[in-house]
Structure 1
Amino acid sequence: MHYLRWITACVALVLAPVASAQDKPQPSQCLAVAQSLPSVQFVSLRHVTAEKGEVVITYAGHSTYIIETPGNVTIATDFSGVYTAGKSPDVVTMNRAHSTHYTLNPDPRIKYVLHGWSDGDGPAKHALTVGDVFIRNVPTDIRGYRVGSEAMMQKDGNSIFIFEVAGLCIGHLGHLHHPLDEARYAAIGRLDIVMVPIDGTYTLSLDGMSEITRRLRASIVLPMHRFSTPLGEFVARMNGQFEVELRKEKSFSVSLDTLPKAPTIIILEGV
């Protein structure tokens, strides 16, 4: 019975009223809070908690996607200042594996600059509400200095950022360098859309990245950070589990009701 009481408490937390104040972020709608309990299937609350409106997603370049929310919040991922798609962001996220994923001198008019690494002790911790979007992060490690032929890992140097808006759970894997353990999968929770680096070398191998992508099984997979990797090599590793759409546009609109029925890799212009 204590399991049932715990689940009831968690569901009540998820359905709690959303705070408008920045210092009291809303609870996550995407976390699978009962995932670790034995013999329990967690029922998605997406149709109960979903808000109206469409999210516009634009591929700007490299690992930068522009996310525009129904409440007119503009977000740029892995922001270096080079790729903006002509949008002036309200929020930028950054990772520091390479200088193409961050800048230490962002435009001062950008109100929220979220580092994927910690500027102090411990990992970066983000959980904030900006307008109609709740933003949080899941820290991961990055390759740092080398000892002989072995690359040593630098703890918590990268973040997977998750954007919860209009009932959608949108994840950006950043400059991911290693497989995800069960604790990180649980911390990520449900993803409806995931942005995945597919270079196969600078981040994680194509085999490793495709395994993560299959495990997350988001409705929409958006490749990025491709370099010269043939798109077919990544698609082939999906083992026929995902549809593929090659689009001529850099942008598309999506809502909870327009997610594809089958998991789909959408390749936007420029990828």
Structure 2
Amino acid sequence: MKIKWYGQACFKITAENGTGIIMDPYHDMLGYKLPPLTAEIVTTSHEHKDHNNAEAIGGEVKHIKETGEFFEAGIAIKGIETFHDKLSGAQKGKNTVYCFGIDGLKVCHLGDLGHLLTPQQMKEIGRVDILFLPVGGTYTLDAADAAEVMKQLKPKIVIPMHYRTKALGVPGMIFGKVESFVKIAKVEAKKEKVLEVDLKDIERKAGIVILDYK
């Protein structure tokens, strides 16, 4: 599969069979600008505008925004209820974690997760090979809590998201830097423009992978 980051929590995964999956596409409001994209599947973790612009994605798109189990375009998908804060959603509402079975690998996008996972949530998520993990704090997990969630799920590859970048300008100061997470996690970090990974080489590519949003 190929994985490309478009900023904030938006990624596109292209499976070996060409199926495109886009997670949490945003409205142009943060300094990032979403390019024209097409896909077969779009998931949105919650209804904040920096995560819910499914209408921007072209093609014959299946939009999934609920919890439950789904099977679309050869991809098994599971949506699991979590929360955007540490108070069971009382401050910022609910958040859906999505897990995907793609090319024999288990991929998990945590959306705007705002708390450590419960044993039940960890059981529902199960094995994780590739984890998309918010690390910037304020609206999501901060660096320390993100490192704890990483320990809870034990993924082979961690891709940080939802942190401060140059594209965000001054408003981005509310988010922490990805370097803070890397330092606390104490795991080797590599930088890639696009991550290409499959079942055969995932062990070799294990660690934190920081993707370029440009």
Identity of aligned residues (%): 24
Aligned to 2:213: 270
- 1:132 shift after superposition: 2.6
Contact 1:223 1:267 in 2 (8 A): yes
Q: Which runs of 5+ in 2 are unaligned?
A: 165-172
Match of 2:148 among 200, 208, 211: 211
Q: Which runs of 4+ in 1 moved over 6 A?
A: none
The answer on whether the counterparts of 1:80 and 1:94 sit within 8 Å (CA) in structure 2 is no
**Cα deviations by residue, 1:75-116 (Å, 9 ceiling, x for unpaired):** 11012355655431111111235211103745574421111x
In 2: Cα distance, 1:262 partner to 1:72 partner: 22
Query: Where do 1:189-268 residues align within 5 Å?
Result: 189-227=126-164, 228=173, 229-238=176-185, 240=186, 242-247=187-192, 249=193, 251-261=194-204, 263-268=206-211
Task: Report the equivalent of 1:72.
Answer: 18
The 5 A counterparts of 1:1-271 are 55-80=1-26, 82=28, 86-96=36-46, 98-103=48-53, 105-106=55-56, 109-115=59-65, 124-143=66-85, 152-153=90-91, 157-227=94-164, 228=173, 229-238=176-185, 240=186, 242-247=187-192, 249=193, 251-261=194-204, 263-270=206-213
Q: Deviations 1:17-46 (Å, cap 9, x if unpaired)?
A: xxxxxxxxxxxxxxxxxxxxxxxxxxxxxx
Aligned to 1:52: none
The 1:102/1:261 distance shift into structure 2, 3 A limit, reads: same
Whether the 8 Å CA contact 1:143–1:154 is kept in 2: the answer is yes
Letter in 2 for 1:236: K
- RMSD, aligned α-carbons: 2.5
| Unmatched 5+ stretches in structure 1 | 1-54, 116-123
CA distance in 2, matches of 1:61, 1:257: 28
Matches of 1:87 and 1:103, distance apart in 2 = 12
Matched letter for residue 12 of structure 2: I
Deviations along 1:213-236, whole A, 9 cap, x unmatched?
122121110011112522221011
Normalising by structure 2, we get a TM-score of 0.82
Q: Indicate how the Cα distance of structure 1 residues 109 and 81 shifts in structure 2: closer, same or farther if over 3 A, else same.
A: farther
